[in-house]
Chain A
Amino acid sequence: GAVVSQHPSRVICKSGTSVKIECRSLDFQATTMFWYRQFPKQSLMLMATSNEGSKATYEQGVEKDKFLINHASLTLSTLTVTSAHPEDSSFYICSASKYDGTGLHEQFFGPGTRLTVL
C-alpha cells in the first residue's frame, strides 16, 4: 500500500499566529509532494510542488513567504501558514507521488487538515 498521513487533522488558531502542517509518506519514499487547498464546495487548488532537498515551486498567486514549505526528507514535507488570517481558513491536503514503474506516478493523498483562523 501507500499511506500518507497529515498532522494535525484539525487546528483552530488566532489571527496572526503561524500554523505548521506535516505531511508524511509512511511506507514509501516520495521525491515529490504536493500541497493543495480546498475551499467549501470547491475543487482542489494546487498551491505548490515540493521536491526533496530543493525549493518548492509555487503556483501563480500563492505567496511563498506566507506559505513556507520545507521538504527535508523523502518522507516528510511541512507547510507553515505564517501570520494566518481568517481568509486562510480552508482544507489543506497534501499528496505524495509514488512511481510504480509504468509511468503512472500515482498521487496518494493525506487525510487533510482543516484550518480555522479566528
Chain B
Amino acid sequence: GQNIDQPTEMTATEGAIVQINCTYQTSGFNGLFWYQQHAGEAPTFLSYNVLDGLEEKGRFSSFLSRSKGYSYLLLKELQMKDSASYLCAVRASNSGYALNFGKGTSLLVTP
C-alpha cells in the first residue's frame, strides 16, 4: 500500500514563498505528481518528479528525494488566485499508472 502525508492547511501572505511538504511510503515508486485543485473543480497538473532533485516551472518548483520518501512543492510570488488545495500523488510501478493521492493541503493566501 501507499501512505501519503501532507499538512492539512497552510496560510501565507501574497507575494511570499510557501513550501508544501509531502512524505510517502510506497513499493515500486514510479513518480510523484503535484496537482492544484480549486473547490468544486477537477485537479490540474502542476509538476512531475521521478528522479531526485528540483524541477522548476515558473513560479512553481517541486523537489524529490526518493531515499527519504519526501517531496515538496514550492510556490513563489504568491498570488491570491493560488488559494487552492494542493494534492501530492504517488504512482507505483504495479498500479498501471494509477495515482494514489494524499489528502491535500488547503492553502490560503491572504493580502
Chain A interface (Cβ < 8 Å from any Cβ of B): 32, 34, 36, 42-46, 49, 51, 57, 91, 93, 95, 97, 103-112, 114
For the side of the interface on B, what is the size category?
20 to 34
Contact B42 A107 (CB under 8 A): no
Chain A residues in 8 Å Cβ range of B48: 104, 106
CA distance A57 to B95 in the complex (A): 10
Bound-complex Cα distance A55 to B40 (A): 30
Name the CB-closest residue of A to B96. Answer: A49
Please report whether the interface of chain B is mostly helix, strand, loop or mixed according to DSSP: loop
Within 8 Å by CB of A34, from B35, B50, B98, B104, lies B98
Establish whether residues A109 and B43, one from each chain, have CB atoms under 8 Å apart when the complex forms. Answer: yes
Task: Give the residue of B42, B87, B100, B101 whose beta carbon is less than 8 angstroms from that of A110.
Answer: B42
Q: Are B42 and A93 in contact (CB under 8 A)?
A: yes
Q: Which chain A residues lie closer than 8 Å to B41 at the CB level? A: 111-112
A49 shortest CB reach to chain B, Å: 5
* Distance (whole angstroms) from the CB of B34 to the closest CB of chain A: 12
